[in-house]
Structure 1
Amino acid sequence: MDWTAEAIERLRALWAEGHSTAEIGRRMGVSKNAVVGKAHRLNLPARPSPIRRETLAERPAQATTPRLPRAAGPAPRSTLAPAASGSTAPVAAASGVVRAFPRLSAMRSCCWPIGEPGTPEFRFCSAEAASGKPYCSQHAAVAYVKARDRREDAA
């Protein structure tokens, strides 16, 4: 659109009347963004936000509950796991016997979950974990799959 002197004066008048940018655009036959851009270039006064904001004085007094400081460090992996480090959580082994799942011990067992969490059948694989991995070699082969070269798929 060519912003003629007449169009600019009309924009200034509608702006001063307090119309929204969308309404000014409709009345002038231009887009809202054209109105916003031209108003910016003309340094017209800023408009109040259409989003209603309450000031602190206007807000009703609310009962606030004190927030406890969060513990430093990573969040726990599961709400079922005990919070104390070095503790054990009972877990059913493959044989159906409940065993203590070692945490931070020298012998590491596979952490592969088996079954549906929350059911009595849920357990972890009890095989010895591969060095540097949280899973046994069988489950590590499933968990860590090399990405295929996409050039092989191109034809």
Structure 2
Amino acid sequence: MNWTDERVEKLKKLWSEGLSASQIAAQLGGVSRNAVIGKVHRLSLPGRAKAGGSTAAAARPKRATSAPRAPNYAARSVTRTVTRTAGATALKEELAVDLTIDQELQIDRNIVLPMSRRLELTELTERTCKWPIGDPLKEEFHFCGNDSPEASPYCTFHARLAYQPSAERRRMR
């Protein structure tokens, strides 16, 4: 198939209108999608415009990046470089993102920690708390070992840590 000047001009026009390579191939007739893509690259045409006539940067809203979740961060502005593609062209865009975290920590000073019985794995039973304490690779590692209710693998204190209501978990995020 020969690329005549007329067909090349039609290719350029359809490409700038945002048509896909398959759609252009169908309109030109007698040419495959891959032939259209190859010709676009040889002509060094810019990335396709989005259908509807808007540019990719104007049509796409800026995304905020999530900040690390830690208490007492002050509001600050951060500039991030983002690479995105528009058709066959890679574009770099700098986004200014305001990072703010409003998180209040409520410290309950009336918490009573139960004394651990410091049981080894082989000493655990159905009625002992199986909450691990420490690093399993260290010699000091042990399990809580306090009495646990019949339907729970943990004592009352550790069950409250393990089974937080979903509303409370969402609030802590």
TM-score, structure 2 length as denominator?
Answer: 0.33
Q: Which has the larger radius of gyration?
A: 1
Compare the two structures and name the one with the higher strand fraction. 2
Larger relative contact order (CA 8 Å, sep ≥ 6)? 2
TM-score, structure 1 length as denominator?
Answer: 0.36
